Amino acid sequence: MRLDNISTTPFKNRKYLNISNDNDDVIPSLGSVSQVGMEFFNAQDAVYVITQSQGYNGNKLPD
């Protein structure tokens, strides 16, 4: 899934809590299509997109 194709108007000044687990079968932490039939970003990319929507302009942190 490409991160540069996301078009949305984010809510500013929101608090986020991201919890991910490497053995989650419903929402895979490494991203992909899950058993519920939806495609998910990997957890690290999802957090990066959220931080950008809140004004972060830096690079994605390495693993």
d(CA 60, CA 4): 14
Tens-of-pLDDT digits for all 63 residues of the chain?
A: 555 666 566 667 777 777 778 887 777 788 888 888 888 888 888 888 888 888 888 998 887
Domain ranges, ordered by start, for the chain:
16-53
| Spatial CA neighbour of 44 closest among 25, 61, 27 | 61
The answer to whether residues 18 and 46 touch, using CB atoms and an 8 Å cutoff, is yes
What is the pTM (predicted TM-score) of this model? 0.63
d(CA 5, CA 20): 23
Percent of the chain scored above 90 by pLDDT?
A: 0
